[in-house]
Chains A and B, each alone.
Chain A
Amino acid sequence: MKKYDRIIVKLFLFTLPLAMLLGFIITQMNMNDFAPGSGRDWFNSFSGLVFAIWMLQTLYISARLILSNSFRDSILPRLAFFKERDEREALITGQAARHSFLTTLALLIFFLCLSLFQVAVYKLPPEQAVAGKTGTLTLGVNMDLLAQGQSAAHSSAGVDYFRYSGLPLSNTGIILMLIFWQLASYNYFAKRLNLQS
């Protein structure tokens, strides 16, 4: 790791508790309760500066993690609790990574299915009845890659019984879940393989 990168990472780690503390204070306290001139403006400026620095550092570090092999190899194995002190541990790391990759791929395929399919069960108003039947089951596929797709199933003035149109998680929620899944599955398989040998 380059000296400059090392400084940035240390600065990031040391400013992280401060940024979290400031974030906690701002969310818990209503800053408008404090009179102007009581240090409120100074606090706002200071916390804004800390957040700006912290955000820049975060962007820089995450970009470096993608672009630099050496930077990635020196940071991420520690975060993922890799143990490669000898050939057996390196072998276990490889096997656990393989298992983790495949389970993550399976999970992604499952999520893709969940995000593609749309299902709605609803009752139409009597005037829209088809062949005298008002109960309706609508199936759809949402293939929109860029924008949030419109629900294929809609009941207009009818009564909804069940409606499913894609994953209920936000983008951040899905990404966080996948990160935790990768870490957890890797460590689970590594531990299991370690016990087997």
Chain B
Amino acid sequence: MGRIPSKLAILNRVHVLRAEKKISQQALADEIGVTRATINAIESGGYNPSLELAFRLASFFDTGVEDIFQIEGKKK
């Protein structure tokens, strides 16, 4: 088993999933109880959400957390 780096680059598909659902950042933010700036920060990769928020996003998009968030360079 390889050593896990101390800092993981986490990619997410929130932008894609939101586009598929055809909803705005504000609408998504209202649905999961955060600000629009937080959705923007998550989509741009500037902020990695907590586990709770990740599960809330997964629940909203009706998918698994691993379908939204992946470690860069690691295939599912």
Contacts and interface: CB of A to CB of B under 8 A. Distances in A.
Contact of A197 (B46, B50, B52): B46
B23 to A, nearest CB: 18
11 contacts: A86-B33, A87-B38, A87-B52, A87-B53, A88-B37, A88-B38, A88-B41, A89-B35, A194-B37, A197-B41, A197-B47
Contact of A89 (B38, B46, B50, B52): B38
Chain B contact residues: over half helix, strand or loop, or mixed?
A: loop
B46 A87 contact: no
Interface residues of A, number: 8
Nearest to B45: A197
Contact of B34 (A88, A194, A197): A88
Interface centre among A85, A194, A197 (most CB of B within 10 A): A197
Contacts of A86: 33-35, 38
A196 interface: yes
